[in-house]
């Protein structure tokens, strides 16, 4: 058993409760008790540590990354979704060269340094499997399905199954294999059905990029625009969209998926997502770079959806620091009350990142019975703690995962 404490514990529950001079008593598996540090000091403990001028939060969660794109720094074009996607198709092989493993290790360090203890990693190829499975991070590992050409679907589905099986060999309470659908424009309806069945029969969490761009919405609604030319240029075929927006959404019923981005979603789309208890993951910096827009939080509120915040990959971000991401969002959402926005952002990488999660993982709050994963951040503040944390903190002072100190 161990005891740590700090000037403030941000419990990261729905009410944003704070304990002054708080302590957390824990073992490697779970939090045993939370109280004031003083009240816990007499408990038998292998070690006791009080962090002065610090706050402790649950370890942060970055639920949407693409570690395999860690090498991008200037190869991919930003500012227009179509130009970006063209540049991804043209550069994706060269971004996977022999120095990828080293870059992925650097990115994992950036994640840990920013207080992240849990990631949702979209894996397109499986190149990131061992780097993630052997890292200290807890990982929801989303094996991604892609494929628009009918002739290639069998081969691509077999490849997905092989990657899923490889990842299942690493299953543990640190590593959770899962599935991802790339997007409605890139996944044929036959492939979608197979992957949805797989997710259902094996009870696997599911993530999907959805309505990230105006180009995607235009394609699904009018069968015209950027994607028409895209398929002609890169696939030499005249293509039709595989779904209408509502048919695509309806096919996920019963699965409670993570819908990533939803920038171009209407109130009606969000209502459908809320009805199926789906979650929304928002990546503000990526969204600004690719679609010149960030998620409408008022629309989310109307649909009673609390967004989860994440960084996306270096394919559409300069860094995977979650602290950078939240600080940027703090400035970008100018029409929202600063202090309550800061709380919502912090809860979006803790409490809401795990609330009602499909695997029943108890994470994202400091609470008895939850995982002993903590981030410690230095602060001189005594009030407005969420705001001051996001504003001033560039890296974590300490990080615990599974009760062990990683940083
Ligand atoms: C494909 O691999 O089929 C694909 C990739 C990106 C966009 C659309 C289709
Ligand atoms: Fe993404």
pLDDT at residue number 331: 98
Please name the residue whose Cα sits nearest to atom 5 of ligand 1.
Answer: 186
Name every residue whose Cβ is closer than 8 Å to that of residue 251 and which is 6 or more positions away in sequence: 192, 193, 196, 243
Residue-by-residue pLDDT tens, the chain, 407 positions: 999 999 999 999 999 999 999 999 999 999 999 999 999 999 999 999 999 999 999 999 999 999 999 999 999 999 999 999 999 999 999 999 999 999 999 999 999 999 999 999 999 999 999 999 999 999 999 999 999 999 999 999 999 999 999 999 999 999 999 999 999 999 999 999 999 999 999 999 999 999 999 999 999 999 999 999 999 999 999 999 999 999 999 999 999 999 999 999 999 999 999 999 999 999 999 999 999 999 999 999 999 999 999 999 999 999 999 999 999 999 999 999 999 999 999 999 999 999 999 999 999 999 999 999 999 999 999 999 999 999 999 999 999 999 999 99
pLDDT at 16: 98
Report which protein residue has its CA nearest ligand 1's atom 8: 186
Is residue 30 within 8 Å of residue 76, measured between CB atoms? no
Please tell me if the CB atom of residue 186 comes closer than 6 angstroms to any atom of ligand 1.
yes
For ligand 1, is residue 147 a contact (CB within 6 Å)?
Answer: yes
| Cβ 148 under 6 angstroms from ligand 1 | yes
Q: Is 264 a catalytic residue?
A: no
pLDDT of residue 128: 98
Find tokens 């209502």 and name the residue: 271
pLDDT of residue 322: 98
Q: Which of 84, 90, 93, 147 to mutate to test the pocket of ligand 1 (most atoms within 8 A of CB)?
A: 147
* Atom in ligand 1 nearest the alpha carbon of residue 88: 6
Which ligand neighbours the alpha carbon of 123 most closely? 2
Three-state secondary-structure class, residue 363: coil
3-state secondary structure of 245: helix
Q: What's the CA-to-centroid distance between 241 and ligand 1, angstroms?
A: 12
Pick the residue whose CA is nearest to atom 1 on ligand 1: 147
Instruction: Answer whether 351 contacts ligand 1 (Cβ < 6 A).
Output: no
Strands 138-145 and 175-181 come out as parallel
Q: Is 146 in the pocket of ligand 1 (CB under 6 A)?
A: yes
The residue whose CB lies within 8 Å of the most ligand 1 atoms, and thus the one to mutate among 81, 145, 182, is 182
Q: What pLDDT is stored for residue 272 in this prediction?
A: 98
Residue located nearest, by CA, to atom 2 of ligand 1: 147
CA separation for the pair 211, 81 (Å, rounded): 11
Pocket-testing residue among 89, 146, 149, 183, ligand 1, by greatest number of atoms within 8 A of Cβ: 146
Distance 151 CA to ligand 1 centre (A): 13
Q: Which DSSP string corresponds to 33-76? A: EEEEHHHHTTS--SEEEEEEEEEEEEPEEEEEE-GGGTT-SSSS
Token couple for 129: 């499997």
183 CA to middle of ligand 2, Å?
Answer: 10
Q: How far is the CA of 396 from the centre of ligand 2 (A)?
A: 25
Residue 218: what pLDDT? 98
Q: How far is the CA of 78 from the centre of ligand 1 (A)?
A: 19
C-alpha 11/C-alpha 364 separation (Å) is 9
Which ligand approaches the C-alpha of residue 237 most closely? Answer: 1
Residue (of 152, 61, 103, 18) closest to 351 by Cα position? 61
Q: How does DSSP classify residue 228?
A: H
Pocket of ligand 1 contains residue 185 by CB under 6 Å: yes
Residue 398: what pLDDT? 99
- Expressed in angstroms and rounded, the spacing between residue 89 Cα and the centre of ligand 2 is 15
Among 331, 403, 399, which Cα is nearest to 62's?
A: 399
pLDDT for 60? 99
Q: 219 CB less than 6 Å from ligand 1? A: no
240 C-alpha to center of ligand 2: Å?
Answer: 23
Catalytic choice (33, 130, 151, 212):
212
């Amino acid at each position: 058993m161990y005891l740590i404490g700090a000037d403030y514990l941000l419990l990261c529950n729905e009410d944003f409760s704070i304990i002054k001079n708080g302590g957390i008593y824990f073992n490697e598996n779970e939090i045993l008790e939370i109280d004031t540090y003083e009240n816990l000091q007499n408990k038998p403990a292998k070690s006791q540590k009080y962090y002065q001028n610090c706050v402790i939060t649950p370890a942060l969660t970055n639920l949407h990354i693409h570690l395999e794109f860690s090498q991008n720094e200037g190869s991919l074009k930003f500012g227009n979704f179509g130009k970006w996607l063209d540049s991804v198709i043209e550069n994706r092989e060269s971004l996977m060269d022999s120095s990828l493993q080293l870059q992925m290790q650097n990115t994992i360090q950036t994640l840990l340094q920013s207080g992240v203890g849990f990631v949702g990693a979209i894996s397109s190829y499986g190149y990131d499997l061992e780097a993630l499975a052997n890292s200290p991070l807890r990982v929801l590992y989303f094996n991604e399905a892609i494929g628009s050409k009918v002739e290639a679907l069998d081969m691509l589905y077999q490849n997905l199954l092989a990657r899923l099986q490889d990842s299942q060999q690493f299953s543990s309470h640190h590593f959770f294999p899962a599935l991802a659908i790339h997007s409605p424009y890139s996944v044929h309806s036959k492939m979608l059905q197979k992957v949805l069945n797989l997710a259902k029969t094996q009870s696997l969490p599911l993530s999907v990029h959805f309505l990230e761009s105006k180009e995607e919405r235009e394609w699904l609604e009018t069968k015209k625009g950027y994607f028409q030319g895209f398929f002609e240029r890169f696939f030499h075929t005249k293509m039709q969209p595989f779904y209408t927006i509502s048919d695509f959404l309806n096919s996920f019923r019963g699965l409670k998926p993570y819908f990533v981005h939803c920038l171009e979603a209407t109130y009606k789309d969000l209502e459908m997502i809320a009805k199926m208890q789906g979650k929304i993951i928002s990546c503000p910096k990526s969204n600004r770079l690719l679609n010149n827009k960030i998620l409408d939080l008022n629309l989310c509120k109307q649909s009673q959806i609390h967004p989860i915040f994440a960084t996306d990959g270096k394919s559409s971000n300069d860094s995977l620091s979650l602290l950078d991401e939240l600080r940027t969002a703090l400035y970008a959402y100018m029409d929202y009350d600063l202090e309550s926005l800061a709380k919502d952002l912090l809860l979006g990488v803790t409490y809401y990142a795990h609330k009602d999660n499909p695997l029943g993982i108890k994470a994202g709050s400091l609470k008895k019975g939850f995982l002993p994963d903590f981030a410690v951040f230095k602060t001189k503040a005594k009030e407005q703690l969420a705001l001051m944390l996001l504003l001033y903190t560039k890296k974590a002072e300490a990080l615990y995962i599974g009760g062990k100190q990683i940083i």
